[in-house]
Structure 1
Amino acid sequence: MRGVIAAGHPDTVEAGAMILEAGGNAFDATVAAVFAACVAEPVLASLGGGGFLVGQEGEGEPLALDCFVQTPRQRRPLEELDFHPITADFGTTTQDFHIGLGSMATPGLVAGLFALHGRYGRLPMTEVLAPAVQLAREGVELNPLQEYIFSIVAPIYVATPGARDLFTSDGAAMLRSGDRYRNPDLSDLLDNLGREGPDLFYRGDVAHQIHEASREQGGHLHRDDMAAYRPVWRDPIARMYRGVDLLINPPPSSGGLLLAFALHLLEAQDPATALPGSLSHVERLSRVMELTERLRADWSGPLDETLLAPESLQAYASQLTGLPPAHRGTTHVSVLDASGNAAAMSLSNGEGSGWVVPHTGVMMNNMLGEQDLNPGGFHRWPTDSRMTSMMAPTVARWPDGRLLALGSGGSNRLRNAILQVLVHCIDHDLPLASAVSAPRVHYEAGLLNLEGGLAPSVCQALMEGGRSCQVWQDLNLFFGGAHCVERHEGGFRGAGDPRRGGVCRVI
């Protein structure tokens, strides 16, 4: 066996699998799969966004790559900005986002993928990009899940003529299940990137068009923002949880820190007293989520590793037993190979700004319009700074050689999705597929969301105990999409999250 890959769409997985079969390593396969995701998962992935990778080279050396978006170097006056709200409708709940050229931050994904390939890749970039080039030209047949995702964010994907040309069938109606989504402009761009490298994107015609449109139509971005962008190699957060070595996405991303914080709170509790799906299990998870949210509110300034200091951890851990009972477009790729390389990469375009770079097929991000990423309020971001994120790709390493790579999409729900998969795998030794498909909970702003599949008696007991609850009827992409792969007992296996069309393939 060469390896295993899990991701959010069959064509994303197929691109990575083709590269593994051709002799590429886990990093080659990750690059191929992420580029393909920008075609196969167009709402969740775009060259106009950014991402994070956590992994290991061979059997030991940990690594983390930050290629998330950067704030512009200068702010435009508010009265000049193209920046306006839309409402995304999940059916059971709604969420407001802001779009327009004034919501765009400097994209980092292209630079990051080239940096990853340049340092760790084995095959030529033209070969690694070939599956995505072909996919964009031939097109992807949309499935029911993609139709549902489009329906949630439809106001964004009909916001401009460029978006309507790509994502509607007749200039008005959104593409539906069974329709074929083609992006020949993106195919050409990917083909040219393979031959010319990332300067085409950051210093060439793409950067020029972003600069001109921003200047004329109300954006912040300047050609200097594009030319100055650099991905950053970092050291992952390394934490032990019940004897398992965890590599977690480091600051300035906050998702990894909050995941590490939540795991510390749980480690002091006996897992045998809270079996998966039980009332005590759901209460315990919801308390930890509530304390994590309280930490975010209490902390002044950007989150950093001082929140993992013993005195800080103890201050919140002491509150755990005293508590009363209790969508951002993101996707993920996980890959392991036979050489021990591991890659967990999460990427996001926000919901998309609604603006497509002409003749490229690339919708730009709306990270400056994401309330989660701008807790101090819109238009108050520090200039020329890496933005924070909830994305938290993670690698878990057991003493016996078991290896797990995972991550999730799902806005500020994603870290709780990862938390629950880790708890199921480490605390309760559930099979990976069961750990991923088990019903989830998510606490935020005083409301406990309970996914379909939990026992009605558990939901009823929580509400009778004073919890404000939203009960969902089925599994739903609101609760994230955790795509996971593992090496265990001499073989590879994985699980794509059914909430987001996840697929796994062993090669």
Structure 2
Amino acid sequence: MRFPLKWPALNGRVLLLGLLLASSAAYADDPRTTQTAGHKGPTALRGPGRAAIASANFHATEAGLEVLSKGGNAFDAAVAVASTLSVVEPESSGIGGGFMAVIHRAWDGKQFFIDARETAPAAVNVKDYLNKDGTPNRDTALNGPLSAGIPGEPAGLVWLSKHYGKLPLKDALAPAVRIARDGFEPDSRLINAITERQKDIGRWPASVTKFLPDGKPPVAGAVWRDPDQARTLELLGEKGLDGFYRGEVAQKLVSSVRAAGGNWTAKDLESYQVKEREPITVNYRGYRIVTAPPPSSGGVAVAEILNILSGFDLSKMDTAHRMHLVIEAMRRAFRDHNDYLGDPDFVKMPLDMLLSPYYADGLRQTILMDKATPSSMLPSSAGAEPGMHTTHFSIIDGEGNIASITLTVNYTLGSTFVAQGTGVLLNDEMDDFALVPNKPNVYGLLGSKANAPEPGKRMLSSMTPSIVFGADRIGVIGSPGGSTIITQVLEGIFAFIDGKNALGIAGQKRFHHQFMPDRVDMEDGVFDKATADELTRMGHALKQREPWGYMNVVTWDLKSGTLDAASDPRRPSGLGKVQ
């Protein structure tokens, strides 16, 4: 089958503009249009009576279960898990970073999106991230205090506790405080991360104190303590926002950053605000997916891909053609990701267009059934390797409250800069801005002026925490993985719809296309030889890579009440547990 449109003869932007103009009048009244409003979930469900948590570290999972056993709910447990990950998994997240959360409140069946993303400091200056010749300065974008946005995670934890939790904040933070104070044995991934970034860590005295005891990385079996972070978490629990964004911790953060050449001010910290936004909702083949809106790009991309694919009967196709269509949908969604998306408080985005099934109809017509569309046909520039960092956890409690939360400090160990006397490792999220338009960041993602840095602006993120509602099952899905987060969550949704259990979803082999570079990254064995040969014949460039992502999944069978939790088998230190 071939569509009548002769795609290779058309310019991508002209075509897309034509699609926009041709269908713009229909968006508002079309009953099939993807819902962008939240709070339209199912009515309240009877809880399962048990709880399940899946996270990337067993200390964090156990911390969450401990808080549940003391009378907390899923949101108190989320505070416990996130803060404990800050202590035991600093290579991926921490209170010096930020998070995005999709949550479901049991008593009324409503969903909410919590945006605790980092923000640019008021004194942000693009020139700080450029070399003299105008090319991106990768060092200032990724290392040290200039690479750090104002942290959002502490404020997000306070928000979760205050608006949705049942316990005092200090009780939910208690496991993390205890582990930081008494110590734990670092796992191999943390040790390897410190070893990998030892040279950068060595540039900052407080970072050396924290990560290089005796001048070298910790070793397996050694007990590692973080008393400074324990004290910071205690102050957060005792004073809430004032324990981090004002007072002694804030003073130490600002003085340390400025002494090392950064530009934070006390006002930057005092001005930080959590944003509660309406999640994106998309219906696909009888399932309702609730996911992250901007400043996450993930939910828009997942919705766009599902809308494109909803016009095909994938079940009647052989594997090669089914995968071809998924790859082509990925390609188009990532193109739009690069061009249109940014912080909704700063940028007007055409979300009605991007989320409309009419727009998806138009994009679908550009896909040839037996031939790959070169990404060069959709205006672009070269990208780089996608990255594999960040962390995610999933929770369902006995009442039926749900938390799907993705946290990050961006690159491995963030900026590697620790603020003196706080134990706080700062993020390097400034690299997630389009510091130089149409030049790739560390994950190979391109950006436009929509994602250019401005004072107080949130940088675009790939984090895609999601909840999938079916007639008989609910799935809580998310993953780290830089730009691959979006495609991992997409493939996790497909696996859930196909009936796989939590381990099957978390452990399945993965493939990824992000528009540029124009190739399909794949894990070994994701395609059989016949499928790989057919995709190659169609014009897809396949590249095998090491396994990626550390997905953490919880599922709930509504008929039996059974919970299932699994951490990605690619990371042995993770734990999915039902209690």
TM-score by length of 2: 0.79
Structure 1 residue identity aligned to 2:543: Q
Work out the CA distance in 1 between the residues paired with 2:429 and 2:148. Answer: 6
Name 1:165's counterpart in structure 2: 209
Q: Specify whether residues 271 and 79 from structure 1 end up closer, same or farther in structure 2 by C-alpha distance, changes over 3 A only.
A: closer
1:459 equivalent to 2:519? Answer no
Contact 1:251–1:305 at 8 Å: present in 2 too? no
Structure 1: gaps spanning 5 or more residues:
87-95
Structure 1 residue 153: Cα displacement: 4.4
Name 1:69's counterpart in structure 2: 118
Which structure has the larger Rg? 2
Name 1:263's counterpart in structure 2: 306
The counterpart of 2:77, out of the listed 29, 32, 35, is: 29
Name 2:138's counterpart in structure 1: 85
Contact 1:206–1:357 at 8 Å: present in 2 too? no
Work out the CA distance in 1 between the residues paired with 2:199 and 2:58. Answer: 27
Name 2:435's counterpart in structure 1: none
Contact 2:154–2:236 at 8 Å: present in 1 too? no
Contact 2:311–2:361 at 8 Å: present in 1 too? no
The counterpart of 1:407, out of the listed 478, 494, 514, is: 478
Structure 2 residue identity aligned to 1:360: T
Work out the CA distance in 2 between the residues paired with 1:200 and 1:333. Answer: 25
1:363 equivalent to 2:387? Answer no
Contact 1:81–1:218 at 8 Å: present in 2 too? no
Name 1:41's counterpart in structure 2: 89
Name 2:357's counterpart in structure 1: 310
The equivalences for 1:4-403 within 5 A come to 4-58=52-106, 60-76=109-125, 78=127, 85=138, 98-171=142-215, 173-273=216-316, 278-299=319-340, 303-306=349-352, 307-322=354-369, 324-325=371-372, 327=387, 329-351=389-411, 352-370=414-432, 371=441, 375-376=447-448, 380-400=452-472, 402-403=473-474
Work out the CA distance in 2 between the residues paired with 1:459 and 1:97. Answer: 37
Structure 2 residue identity aligned to 1:318: Q
Name 1:420's counterpart in structure 2: 491
Question: Helix, strand or coil for the counterpart of 1:356?
Answer: coil
Contact 1:156–1:354 at 8 Å: present in 2 too? yes
Q: Which range moved further: 151-160 or 136-145?
A: 151-160
Work out the CA distance in 1 between the residues paired with 2:129 and 2:324. Answer: 48
Question: Helix, strand or coil for the counterpart of 1:142?
Answer: coil
Structure 1 residue 215: Cα displacement: 3.2
Q: Which range moved further: 198-207 or 301-310?
A: 301-310
Contact 1:158–1:167 at 8 Å: present in 2 too? no
Contact 2:181–2:226 at 8 Å: present in 1 too? yes
Work out the CA distance in 2 between the residues paired with 1:304 and 1:22. Answer: 46
Structure 1 residue 55: Cα displacement: 1.2
Contact 1:54–1:64 at 8 Å: present in 2 too? yes
Q: Give deviations 1:48-101, integer Å, cap 9, x for gaps.
A: 111111011115111111110111122358469999536xxxxxxxxx962221
Structure 2 residue identity aligned to 1:467: H
Structure 1 residue identity aligned to 2:366: Q
Question: Helix, strand or coil for the counterpart of 1:319?
Answer: coil
Q: How many residues align?
A: 489
Structure 1 residue 462: Cα displacement: 3.3
Work out the CA distance in 2 between the residues paired with 1:385 and 1:452. Answer: 39
1:432 equivalent to 2:502? Answer yes
- Which structure: greater strand fraction? 1
Work out the CA distance in 1 between the residues paired with 2:451 and 2:74. Answer: 39
Question: Helix, strand or coil for the counterpart of 1:493?
Answer: strand
Contact 2:121–2:455 at 8 Å: present in 1 too? yes
Q: Specify whether residues 153 and 325 from structure 1 end up closer, same or farther in structure 2 by C-alpha distance, changes over 3 A only.
A: farther
Structure 2 residue identity aligned to 1:201: F
Q: Give deviations 1:190-209, integer Å, cap 9, x for gaps.
A: 12221122212101122222
Work out the CA distance in 2 between the residues paired with 1:281 and 1:180. Answer: 49
TM-score by length of 1: 0.89
Q: Which range moved further: 322-331 or 390-399?
A: 322-331
Structure 1 residue 178: Cα displacement: 3.4
Q: Give deviations 1:446-477, integer Å, cap 9, x for gaps.
A: 121110232551334434543222213x5x23
Q: Give deviations 1:144-195, integer Å, cap 9, x for gaps.
A: 3333444554444444222222222432x43344343321111121122211
Question: Helix, strand or coil for the counterpart of 1:350?
Answer: coil
Work out the CA distance in 2 between the residues paired with 1:290 and 1:283. Answer: 11
Structure 2: gaps spanning 5 or more residues:
1-48, 374-386, 433-440
Question: Helix, strand or coil for the counterpart of 2:520?
Answer: strand
Work out the CA distance in 1 between the residues paired with 2:193 and 2:144. Answer: 20
Work out the CA distance in 1 between the residues paired with 2:566 and 2:309. Answer: 24
Question: Helix, strand or coil for the counterpart of 1:494?
Answer: strand
| Identity %, equivalent residues | 29
Structure 2 residue identity aligned to 1:205: E
Name 2:551's counterpart in structure 1: 482
Structure 1 residue 433: Cα displacement: 1.4
Work out the CA distance in 1 between the residues paired with 2:527 and 2:129. Answer: 52
Structure 1 residue identity aligned to 2:359: S
Structure 1 residue 229: Cα displacement: 0.5
Q: Give deviations 1:318-337, integer Å, cap 9, x for gaps.
A: 22345724825311111101
Q: Specify whether residues 323 and 262 from structure 1 end up closer, same or farther in structure 2 by C-alpha distance, changes over 3 A only.
A: farther
Structure 1 residue 505: Cα displacement: 0.7
Give the RMSD, CA atoms, in angstroms: 2.7
Q: Specify whether residues 379 and 295 from structure 1 end up closer, same or farther in structure 2 by C-alpha distance, changes over 3 A only.
A: closer
